[in-house]
Amino acid sequence: MVKRVSRRVFLGSAFGGLASLTWAGAPKTSLRPHPRPDGLAKRATPDAEALIEEARLGGQVSFAVAEVQTGLMLESREGDIGQPPASVTKAVTALYALDMLGADFRFETRLVTSGPIKDGVLDGDLILAGGGDPTLDTDGLAAMAAQLKRQGVHSVRGKLRVWGGALPFERVIDRTQPEHVSYNPSLSGLNLNYNRVHFEWKRAGGKYAVSMDARSAKYRPEVRVARMSVAKRDLPVYTYADKGDHDAWTVASGALGNGGARWLPVRKPEAYAAEVFATFARSHGLKLKIGPPLEAAPQGRSLVSYQSPPLDDILKGMLKYSNNLTAELVGMTATARKLGKALPMRGSADEMSRWARKTLGMQGAQLVDHSGLGEDSRLTAGALAQALVRVHGDGMLKPILKEFPLRYENGNIHHDHPVKVAAKTGTLYFVSSLAGYVTAPDGTEMAFAIFTANPDLRSDYDRASGQRPEGARDWNARSKRLQQKLIERWGRIYGT
């Protein structure tokens, strides 16, 4: 159960009660730790530099760890050097959204009428109006169609129109990513199924049968707004073309095998939602003609309202599954609340960066998005660790962070490990980051951030191919082992 705290409490405890503390910048060189009374285990603890050398990551390794009760910086290495945070960015986005929107905030998707309803006949348009909900799925649209039927509407003289202008449209989150990856979808004020479409194929009699659908837990409506054809080739695996009224995909026959499925990104999110809603309306006897999208917010009567789960539940899921679309939409919605107007993704990320520097004291924070997908974002380990200390007392971030299991040397999870970690991971090719909270065996709590990156290795691979670069898997595994060893070091030195 996630603890619900109001925005007022968040502001008061996180940014008021600790305001008298001095948040010194992280040192440029590693501090010598001040361990508690020496024991054999402490004397045998490896030096941080030896662990880094053993990992053989190259590039830049930076970290900072601080005691949460006092804010004392216990240990730091290159703590003021800006590094790409990858999905650790989402922890900052979560704090930003909680501050601007509050833990109980809910997104709303509406059905709005542009004319009067008499005897079940709507004399005007029916408008599907998005509110930026990142969790809206096919089941949600089915529920809205059923509720419309319960309202007694059985005919619409106008058309079904959509409005996604609550947030600016973004064709992709990061332009350097391959076209076909589902973690880089389009963004809009109206989004469905994380703006992904389900592609499935089966081979029978030497031919492939393919389908594109908007599946959810209950339904699998097929769609025409995204279409797939099989091409006789080996590479590239996918191609994409914008055909105006639909996304046109091709897939290489040489890559398919006998059958399988995967999610692909949707580039026409508003049309996608309109088509799926019209399918469910038709199942209730209401035939709708889809018209052009609205340019301005609808002003008519709100007939049906569908609300998301509360924000803290959404953020917990975002941090657990590291969903990029969720991070971008909640970040952009937070900026819209802060400024009274929506900004494009990059402008909103700039606003969140300013907020982080001013409110959390995160000097050097410069983010290009809210998800961490863009490699040009920069955070420093020292500033992030201190920010995590600063917000610890409000009790909002730590409960929604995912438990980070420590492991045996063979990779199996060590369920009884005496050191407990709640943290957010971040991964790009040759970038691995981890930040959150450590609870040592004696109960001492520490906030930490670890950033590792090798920009030379990143610059050498072909981003457009969509293929994992050689050596990336092994590099990432070594980085994660280093992260665990640093955490175990801190638990042994500062908390036993």
Q: What is the pLDDT of residue 351?
A: 98
Q: What is the mean pLDDT of the chain?
A: 91
Whether 176 is covered by a domain: the verdict is no
Residue-by-residue DSSP string for 313-337: HHHHHHHHHT-HHHHHHHHHHHHHH
pTM here?
0.92
Q: Are residues 284 and 365 in the same domain?
A: no
pLDDT in tens, 87-137: 999 999 999 999 999 999 999 999 999 999 999 999 999 999 999 999 999
Question: Residue 66 maps to which CATH number?
Answer: 3.40.710.10
Q: Are residues 343 and 418 in the same domain?
A: yes
Q: Are residues 254 and 132 in the same domain?
A: no
Question: Is residue 254 predicted with pLDDT exceeding 90?
Answer: yes
Question: Residue 131 maps to which CATH number?
Answer: 3.50.80.20
Min mean pLDDT across 193-197, 203-207, 235-239, 338-342 is at: 203-207
Whether 187 is covered by a domain: the verdict is no
Q: Are residues 236 and 130 in the same domain?
A: no
Whether 259 is covered by a domain: the verdict is yes
Taking Cα atoms as reference points, which of 77, 80, 43, 69 lies closest to residue 440?
69
Interacting residues of 322 by C-beta distance below 8 A, sequence separation 6+:
87, 90, 424, 425
Q: Are residues 24 and 145 in the same domain?
A: no
C-alpha torsion 128→267→330→428, nearest 10: 160
Interacting residues of 19 by C-beta distance below 8 A, sequence separation 6+:
none
Q: What is the pLDDT of residue 39?
A: 53
pLDDT in tens, 262-313: 999 999 999 999 999 999 999 999 999 999 999 999 999 999 999 999 999 9
Across the range 422-441, mean pLDDT stands at 97
pLDDT in tens, 168-203: 999 999 999 999 999 999 999 999 999 999 999 999
Model confidence at 21, in pLDDT bands (50, 70, 90)? Answer: very low
Give whole-number Cα distances, 487 to 40, 159, 193, 405, in Å.
18, 59, 37, 11
Q: Which residues pair with 75 in a beta bridge?
A: 65
Q: Which two tokens stand for residue 444?
A: 């001492």
Q: Are residues 67 and 114 in the same domain?
A: no
Model confidence at 242, in pLDDT bands (50, 70, 90)? Answer: very high
Q: Are residues 60 and 140 in the same domain?
A: no
The structural domain count of the chain equals 3
Which residue did the predictor score with more confidence, 25 or 479? 479
Across the range 361-365, mean pLDDT stands at 97
Q: What is the pLDDT of residue 335?
A: 98
Residue 85: domain span: 7-104+310-494
Domain termination site, one of 307, 333, 362: 307
Across the range 471-481, mean pLDDT stands at 96
Across the range 391-406, mean pLDDT stands at 94
State the Cα angle at 393 between 392 and 397, rounded to 5°: 45
Q: What is the pLDDT of residue 466?
A: 73
